[in-house]
Chain A
Amino acid sequence: MVQTEAYVILSAVLFVLGVMGVLLKRNAILVYMSVELMLNAANLALVAFARQWNQMDGQMFVFFVMTVAAAEVAIGLALIVAIFRTKRSTNIDQLHQMEG
């Protein structure tokens, strides 16, 4: 059986990759994808600990996180579409001024 530590370290690596994507990517859609990557990394740690403690509650939290992620993606992409209408761009450097 693979140790829980291995799963948690893998989840930390994926999380850091997601953080770098959020910080370095200029395309708003890719920033969203990186956020999904971070959520997935957190989910992996939750499932690993659920098995470690033999409690299914951790897996239920993952279920809830997935549902919230689905809602967040729907709203986020709708925002990107709305902004793209006025700005003709998804580059977040061009969107950093909070003007309409």
Chain B
Amino acid sequence: MTMDVALFITVGVVAVAAAVMMLLSENAVHSALFLIINFMGVAFLYLMLDAPFLTMIQIAVYAGAIMVLFLFVIMLLGAEKLGEPTRQFRWLAPVSLALALAFLVITSIAIIQGRIDLQGPATQPPALRVVNALTDAGAVDVYLNGERVAPALPFGEATEYTVLPAAAVVAVDGAEADTGREYTLTINAAGTDTALMTSPLVLASRTDRQINAYTVVAHGTSSAPQASLVSDNLETTDNRAGRLTLFNAFERPVDLWNFRSETNPDDDVAVTTDLAPGSGVELAAIPENTDLRAWAFTEAGNKEAVLFRLNNPEVYRIRRDEAQLLVFAGEHIADGTEQGSIRPVALPVASRAAADFGGPHGAGELLFTRYMLPVQLLAVLLLVAMIGAIVLTHKETFQPRRRDVRRRVAQPLTTAISAQVGQDVLQPGEETPRLPPQEDEQPQPVGD
């Protein structure tokens, strides 16, 4: 038995036992405390279900605020001693017990027979973007499956992510698996119909990531173009960090050095060495605002031969929750000669990291975008509930008016007696006896 199954069983038993004890205990205060234990157990289960935000809400709102309200009302009314004196419907207990057990059996059968787990979690279709790092092709048109996704993409720019149609899901040995689907990437010189390259890509839907994103880096020269596929990791990192992935679209292998000290060469750190052309590497998460000015791409194995320094902090910068792809490419410069020259340059391609599943970041993003209107309605509902609670418990509302009391008291006693007895109590001509008028007469409140 694995750790999480053992935890689930322990917490589940505690939650069910607390619920049973809540129903069985004689004292309402004990019931409320058992219910708090049950809520805590459920909060722990939320944590096991990747919902840390809801865990905190459950503890703060349910186990905290709502149960305090319950306990407060129990103590206010002095209703903690239950005592079950008069049970008017004796047949109710066995009937409801039988119905509840029947419901439990039926739902359990439905859940087990329904085979929820075998249907598999939702698959994420692949999303793709294209970076133009072609040395001498200039601007290009990008087509995916024959559809143009970016017209005249200049050198060094990237397209937006395009979500591709989901791959077909086929059944393999009873379980459903995704074998991937072939997509076609075509890159033309801008405004022309001549394809520089046509590249087949096989991308699969995935279930293990929330965002299934890829980047195609088009590199090489226009006579020998290449397309390399990089899988983008858009998961959020730990606190205050960003991701950096390097890709070498240059013609030669390169190193990336961090020249930490200008005076002492022994302090220099090799971030990555011998990055072959057309290959990429994902670095460990880097803290935000790390100074990249001392970083430089060099020829492989020769750190003196600096090709490009990342000395522009506006452009080369680690931002929080950002996944940056740094493409090291050569740009063709027309300098009057027949060949032209190739200038090495590092191209930053940034993308926001996906919001974390179940965390406050993801929840806030959903609440402020897709669920903005329901949140507003909830706010109105809470306001109405607040006013309703005040109106319902406001004492003046249930007191009769002072005028009504006086009228009832002022009724002559003889009239009331004669109405009860059925005959006149006064002889004809006799004067109605009256009580002497009282000082500061206070009407008694009725019905409290």
- Which A positions have Cβ atoms within 8 angstroms of B? 1-10, 12-14, 16-21, 23-27, 29-30, 32-34, 36-37, 40, 43-44, 47-48, 50-57, 59-60, 62-64, 66-75, 77-82, 84-86, 90-91, 93-94, 96
B residues in contact with A68, CB < 8 Å: 378, 381
Tell whether B12 is near chain A: CB-to-CB under 8 Å: yes
- Cross-interface CB contact of A56 among B96, B107, B357, B447, cutoff 8 Å: B357
New contact pairs (8) apart from A20-B23, A57-B370, CB-CB < 8 Å: A6-B8, A10-B12, A10-B16, A12-B111, A13-B104, A16-B103, A18-B19, A36-B62
Interface contact tally, CB-CB below 8 A: 223
Stretch at the interface among B52-60, B295-303, B415-423, B435-443: B52-60
A residues in contact with B15, CB < 8 Å: 10, 14
A26 touches B393 (CB 8 A): no
Q: How far apart are B367's CB and chain A's nearest CB, in angstroms? A: 7
- Cross-interface CB contact of A19 among B69, B100, B371, cutoff 8 Å: B100
A residues in contact with B381, CB < 8 Å: 67-68, 71
Q: Known contacts A27-B28, A59-B358, A81-B77: does B87 contact A14 (CB below 8 Å)?
A: no
Interface centre among B69, B100, B121, B371 (most CB of A within 10 A): B100
What are 23 A-B pairs at a CB distance below 8 A? A2-B48, A3-B117, A9-B108, A14-B19, A20-B23, A20-B97, A29-B77, A33-B31, A34-B23, A36-B62, A47-B54, A51-B50, A53-B122, A54-B124, A57-B366, A60-B363, A60-B370, A72-B385, A74-B69, A74-B385, A74-B388, A82-B392, A91-B85
B residues in contact with A13, CB < 8 Å: 16, 104
A14 vs B41: C-alpha distance when bound (angstroms): 12
B77 touches A84 (CB 8 A): yes
A85 touches B398 (CB 8 A): yes
A67 touches B79 (CB 8 A): no
Q: How far apart are A87's CB and chain B's nearest CB, in angstroms? A: 11
B382 touches A67 (CB 8 A): yes
A24 touches B69 (CB 8 A): no
Q: How far apart are A95's CB and chain B's nearest CB, in angstroms? A: 11
Tell whether B224 is near chain A: CB-to-CB under 8 Å: no
Q: How far apart are A46's CB and chain B's nearest CB, in angstroms? A: 10
A26 vs B31: C-alpha distance when bound (angstroms): 13
A19 touches B103 (CB 8 A): yes
Stretch at the interface among B32-40, B260-268, B311-319, B320-328: B32-40
A48 vs B93: C-alpha distance when bound (angstroms): 32
A residues in contact with B16, CB < 8 Å: 10, 13-14, 17
B363 touches A56 (CB 8 A): yes
- Cross-interface CB contact of B121 among A44, A54, A69, A94, cutoff 8 Å: A54
A55 vs B389: C-alpha distance when bound (angstroms): 36
A94 nearest CB neighbor, chain B only: B86
B114 nearest CB neighbor, chain A only: A5
Within 48-95 of B, Cβ neighbours of A (below 8 Å) are at 48-51, 53-54, 57-58, 61-62, 65-66, 69-70, 73-74, 76-77, 79, 82, 84-89, 92-93
A70 vs B355: C-alpha distance when bound (angstroms): 28
A5 touches B5 (CB 8 A): no
A21 nearest CB neighbor, chain B only: B23
Interface centre among B22, B39, B448 (most CB of A within 10 A): B22
B363 touches A70 (CB 8 A): no
Tell whether B207 is near chain A: CB-to-CB under 8 Å: yes
B residues in contact with A43, CB < 8 Å: 42
Q: How far apart are A88's CB and chain B's nearest CB, in angstroms? A: 9
A4 vs B120: C-alpha distance when bound (angstroms): 11
A73 vs B39: C-alpha distance when bound (angstroms): 15
B38 touches A40 (CB 8 A): yes
B22 touches A37 (CB 8 A): yes
B367 touches A60 (CB 8 A): yes
Tell whether B386 is near chain A: CB-to-CB under 8 Å: yes
A33 vs B161: C-alpha distance when bound (angstroms): 49
A19 vs B319: C-alpha distance when bound (angstroms): 51
Q: Known contacts A14-B19, A24-B96: does B88 contact A47 (CB below 8 Å)?
A: no
B116 touches A66 (CB 8 A): no
B residues in contact with A55, CB < 8 Å: 122
A61 vs B197: C-alpha distance when bound (angstroms): 48
Q: Known contacts A66-B62, A82-B392, A85-B398: does B111 contact A16 (CB below 8 Å)?
A: no
Tell whether B169 is near chain A: CB-to-CB under 8 Å: no
Tell whether B193 is near chain A: CB-to-CB under 8 Å: no
